């Protein structure tokens, strides 16, 4: 279960007027030392336009690059509001790492220390783009002790390390939060569960589950989904089923997660069929991935289950047609494979000839 770290974009566009002939000296370090503001007579100023009637949209890439170029020439024009807008805009453009590196060289350390919220947003963006080492550097050297008492920067680092596959580093930070007395929240637990699932560590996952219960969040839908996914990834289907059955509210994501997870573990197709029935009883639909996996499982069922699995296969096929999913390539290929395994070649050929698009697997089946 992945927890995604995003940067919110505000409907604000910022631009700088064309440079005149003045060429003030600029510093290149992140600390902004020895920088000289442009001469007052040069007429440089910052123009910020906000139009709340327009939908939020990032500025064109050329506009963003022009603003960065102007700031490279006149770094003292970088204000907190402009920095906030640039941090929001950069993730929406190609090569965000390159543009972030340009911006990073222009930010005075003093600005980040005066505006701790911007330091956290800068850390957030670096972690979201996979630049966790720099994000951790910001955490260690620029965040105030008070800022480090909040869960948000910790969550950014835990999620960043988990996304990079550095699951044990992510979990080490999770434990460090407890040692430092930082209150852990819903996002913290979700990130930690992602790390446990990625590491395949049932022991660590059980520890996080206990923390979730102690925090009074055992009924939280997102955390329950994370627990189900973690237990399935760790191979403990029994606990996954227990958490799933105890969920007070199950959305479509929950049902598809449980269905697909059970299907990944052989020998559970009767329980998977029970999940299938219950999904429809509560008004939810399986997704193409879960359908494909379900059909693949039916294809590999034992001879003793052949009649029942064939019946279920035809029922699923009818549902697929009624809901317009028979054009999904993965679902159609799974139907062909299932009917071929059951020696129902007429049905297999019917599905094949009905496919609007065929890939190499379709022809091989």
Task: Please say whether the dihedral angle defined by the alpha carbons of residues 147, 148, 151 and 155, taken in this order, is positive or negative.
Answer: positive
Cβ atoms within 10 Å, residue 47: 9
SS3 string, 137-149, reads HHHHHCCCCCHHH
- Model confidence at 266: pLDDT above 80: no
The average pLDDT across 19-36 equals 39
Pick from 173, 143, 140, 138: nearest CA to 159: 173
**Which stretch of 134-143, 151-160, 328-337 has the lowest confidence by average pLDDT?**
328-337
* Spatial distance between the Cα atoms of 155 and 185, rounded to a whole number of angstroms: 9
Q: Return the pLDDT at 285.
A: 81
SS3 string, the chain, reads CCCCCCCCCCCEEEECCCCCCCCCCCCCCCCCCCCCCCCHHHCCCCEEEECCCCCCCCCCHHHHHHHHHHHHHCHHHCCHHHHHHHHHHHHHCCCHHHHHHHHHCCCCHHHHHHCHHHHHHHHHHHHHCCCHHHHHHHHHHCCCCCHHHCHHHHHHHHHHHHHCCCHHHHHHHHHHHHHCCCCCCHHHHHHHHHHHHHHCCHHHHHHHHHHHHHCCCCCCHHHHHHHHHHHHHCCCHHHHHHHHHHCCCCCHHHHHHHHHHHHHCCCCHHHHHHHHHHHHHCCCCCCHHHHHHHHHHHHCCCHHHHHHHHHHHHHHHHHHHHCCCCCCHHHHHHHHHHHHHCCCHHHHHHHHHHCCCCCHHHHHC
Structure tokens at 158: 């835990």
Of the pLDDT bands very low, low, confident and very high (cuts 50, 70, 90), residue 154 is very high
* Spatial distance between the Cα atoms of 120 and 141, rounded to a whole number of angstroms: 12
The gap from C-alpha 199 to its chain's centroid, in whole angstroms, comes to 17
**Which stretch of 294-298, 321-325, 326-330 has the lowest confidence by average pLDDT?**
294-298
**Which stretch of 180-184, 190-194, 290-294 has the lowest confidence by average pLDDT?**
290-294
Mean pLDDT of the residues in the chain: 82
- Model confidence at 32: pLDDT above 60: no
* Spatial distance between the Cα atoms of 245 and 255, rounded to a whole number of angstroms: 11
Answer with the residue of higher pLDDT: 355 or 17.
Answer: 355
* Spatial distance between the Cα atoms of 157 and 140, rounded to a whole number of angstroms: 11
**Which stretch of 36-50, 104-118, 296-310 has the lowest confidence by average pLDDT?**
36-50
Give the pLDDT confidence of 207-239 residue by residue, as tens digits: 999 999 999 999 999 999 999 999 999 999 999
* Spatial distance between the Cα atoms of 335 and 347, rounded to a whole number of angstroms: 9
The average pLDDT across 238-258 equals 91
- Model confidence at 304: pLDDT above 50: no
**Which range among 58-67, 68-77, 335-344 has the greatest average pLDDT?**
68-77
- Model confidence at 299: pLDDT above 50: yes
Q: Return the pLDDT at 269.
A: 67
* Spatial distance between the Cα atoms of 122 and 86, rounded to a whole number of angstroms: 10
Please say whether the beta carbons of 254 and 221 come within 8 A. Answer: yes
Q: Return the pLDDT at 297.
A: 73
CA angle in degrees (0–180, nearest 5) for 176-180-185: 75
Pick from 343, 313, 340, 342: nearest CA to 352: 340
**Which stretch of 79-88, 145-154, 292-301 has the lowest confidence by average pLDDT?**
292-301
Of the pLDDT bands very low, low, confident and very high (cuts 50, 70, 90), residue 319 is confident
Of the pLDDT bands very low, low, confident and very high (cuts 50, 70, 90), residue 306 is low
pLDDT above 70: percentage of residues in the chain: 80
Of the pLDDT bands very low, low, confident and very high (cuts 50, 70, 90), residue 66 is very high
| Token pair 């290149």 in the structure block, residue | 28
Of the pLDDT bands very low, low, confident and very high (cuts 50, 70, 90), residue 57 is low
Cα Rg of the chain (Å, integer): 27
Residues 6+ apart with CB under 8 A from 343: none
The average pLDDT across 245-252 equals 90
Give the pLDDT confidence of 105-148 residue by residue, as tens digits: 999 999 999 999 999 999 999 999 999 999 999 999 999 999 99
What global pTM score does this model have?
Answer: 0.71
- Model confidence at 75: pLDDT above 50: yes
Q: Return the pLDDT at 10.
A: 40
* Spatial distance between the Cα atoms of 309 and 134, rounded to a whole number of angstroms: 53
């Amino acid at each position: 279960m992945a927890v995604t770290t995003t940067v919110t974009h505000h409907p604000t566009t910022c631009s700088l007027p064309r440079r005149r002939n003045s060429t003030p000296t600029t510093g290149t370090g992140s600390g902004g030392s020895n920088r000289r503001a442009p001469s007052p007579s040069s007429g440089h100023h910052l123009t910020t336009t906000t139009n709340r009637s327009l939908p939020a949209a990032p500025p064109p890439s050329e506009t963003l690059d022009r603003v960065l170029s102007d700031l490279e020439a006149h770094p003292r024009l970088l204000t907190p509001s402009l920095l906030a807008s640039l941090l929001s805009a950069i993730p929406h453009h190609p090569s965000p790492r390159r543009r972030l590196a340009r911006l990073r060289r222009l930010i005075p350390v003093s600005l980040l220390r005066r505006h701790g919220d911007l330091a956290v947003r800068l850390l957030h963006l670096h972690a979201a783009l996979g630049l966790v080492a720099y994000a951790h550097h910001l955490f260690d050297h620029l965040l105030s002790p008070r800022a480090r008492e909040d869960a948000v920067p910790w969550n950014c680092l835990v999620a960043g390390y988990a996304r990079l596959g550095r699951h044990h580093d992510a979990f080490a930070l999770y434990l460090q939060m407890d040692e430092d007395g930082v209150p852990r929240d819903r996002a913290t637990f979700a990130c930690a569960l992602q790390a446990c699932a990625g590491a395949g560590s049932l022991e660590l996952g059980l520890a996080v589950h206990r923390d979730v219960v102690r925090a009074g969040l055992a009924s939280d839908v997102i955390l329950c989904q994370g627990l189900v996914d973690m237990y399935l990834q760790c191979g403990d289907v029994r606990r996954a089923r227990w958490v799933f059955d105890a969920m007070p509210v199950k959305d479509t994501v929950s049902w598809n997660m449980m269905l697909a997870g059970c299907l990944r573990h052989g020998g559970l197709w009767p329980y998977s069929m029970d999940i299938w029935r219950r999904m429809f009883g509560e008004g939810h639909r399986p997704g193409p991935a879960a359908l494909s996996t379900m059909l693949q499982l039916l294809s590999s069922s034992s001879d003793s289950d052949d009649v029942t699995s064939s019946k279920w296969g035809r029922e699923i096929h009818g549902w697929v047609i009624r809901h317009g999913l028979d054009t999904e390539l993965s679902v159609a290929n799974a139907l062909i494979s299932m009917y071929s395994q059951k020696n129902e070649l007429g049905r297999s050929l019917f599905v094949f000839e009905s496919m609007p698009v065929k890939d190499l697997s379709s022809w091989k089946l």
